[in-house]
Amino acid sequence: MAVAMFQLKNVSYLYNEGQPSEHAALDNINLSINRGEFVAVIGHNGSGKSTLAKHLNALLIPTRGTVLVKGIDTKDPQHLWTIRRTAGMVFQNPDNQMVATAVEEDVAFGPENLGVPAEEIRRRVKTALQTVDMWEYRKSAPHLLSGGQKQRVAIAGVLAMQPEALVLDEPTAMLDPSGRQEVMDTVVRLNRDQGITVIHITHFMAEAVLAGRVVVMNEGGIVLDGTPEEVFSHLDELKASGLDVPQVTELAQRLSKHEIVLPSGILTVERMVAEICRLKSKM
């Protein structure tokens, strides 16, 4: 059997262990993510999403339980760099991720730190910037870019280290709708065309439905895990976890109470329209 990209076994994490302020941010998490998956993680503020993300590249080590990255235990300090290079992280605030005065230098920063030869760095920077469609901005100053462009450069910076997985922690939270669209188009493409494993943390339901799998967190635990259709058919559990559900999903549920029965798991306006037209043609 193939080794999972990420495997969490009975993982708990306590902040400030042993102090009066001790707080369990993860509570006995079990989760396995395979190579090539696109997983969205949703959950209200404080549910443990960022803490989970930081366990995927050994920024945090579990208080109890085990995290394996490609079968390697993140507790093993010998393999720290293998783990860090496997899972590239992108965070919420693009400004905190920019270090250089020009886009191309910024993207080169990661591979430079890995000791990659100069010629190879140039090749990687070009490929990464072309992949996120920012090559023409290579000489630009990062602070002059839009939020969406900055996040795409941040993604390019991670790609230049040739990771097998991308862990994005609310990368669209600070962006306007067009910036969000740019970032999501990029992430979807990287997963689909390059087979990069994606863990995308978001509070936008419209982004979660793009994933192949949705994991819902509440109070440090996983409360739902399945395809978007499966997860978004559990409206009551989602609401109990403090989450919004897609409007059309809610509408379908309400219509069902009035004997207009639509399939569960309708996630998009297009699908809703198609299902209503189908019903109407049967009348």
Ligand X SMILES: Nc1ncnc2c1ncn2[C@@H]1O[C@H](COP(=O)(O)OP(=O)(O)O)[C@@H](O)[C@H]1O
Interface with ligand X by CB under 6 A: which residues?
15-16, 23, 25, 43, 45-51
Closest approach of ligand X to the CB of residue 255, in Å: 32
DSSP letters, 121-176, are: HHHHHHHHHHHTT-GGGTTS-GGGS-HHHHHHHHHHHHHTT--SEEEEESTTTTS-
**Binder of residue 97, out of Mg ion, ligand X, none (CB less than 5 to 8 A by kind):** none
Residues 128 and 159: their CA atoms lie apart, in Å, by 6
- Could you say which of ligand X, Mg ion, none residue 252 binds, taking C-beta under 5 to 8 angstroms by partner kind? none
Contacted by 233, from ligand X, Mg ion, none: CB < 5 to 8 Å by type: none
Supply the minimum distance, in Å, between the C-beta of residue 169 and Mg ion: 6
CB of 254 to Mg ion, least distance (A): 31
For ligand X, which is the closer residue by CB, 48 or 147? 48
Nearer to Mg ion, 21 or 45 (CB): 45
Among Mg ion, ligand X, none, the one that 96 touches (CB under a kind-dependent 5 to 8 A) is none
If we measure between CA atoms, which residue out of 95, 129, 96, 100 comes closest to residue 112?
A: 100
Task: For ligand X, give the closer residue by CB, 132 or 238.
Answer: 238
Closest distance of CB 58 from Mg ion, Å: 18
Residue ranges that bind Mg ion, judged by CB under 5 A: 49-50
State which residue has the least CB distance to Mg ion.
50
36 binds, among Mg ion, ligand X, none (CB under 5 to 8 A by kind): none
Q: Which does 148 bind (CB under 5 to 8 A by kind): Mg ion, ligand X, none?
A: none
Taking the complex as a whole, how short is the minimal distance between the CB of residue 57 and ligand X, in angstroms? Answer: 15
If 0-12 CB within 10 Å is exposed, 13-18 middle and 19+ buried, where does residue 53 land?
A: buried
Nearer CB in complex with ligand X: 54/123: 54
> How far apart are the C-alpha atoms of 246 and 281, rounded to whole Å?
25
Task: Return the number of other C-beta atoms located less than 10 Å from residue 22's C-beta.
Answer: 11
Question: Which is closer to ligand X, CB of 19 or CB of 281?
Answer: 19
Residues 6+ apart with CB under 8 A from 28: 10, 11, 12, 65, 221
Say which DSSP state 78 is in: G
In the bound complex, what is the minimum distance in angstroms from residue 206's beta carbon to ligand X? 19
3-class SS of residue 11: strand
Task: Give residue 119's identity as a one-letter amino acid code.
Answer: E
CA-CA distance, 48 to 55, in Å (whole number)? 11
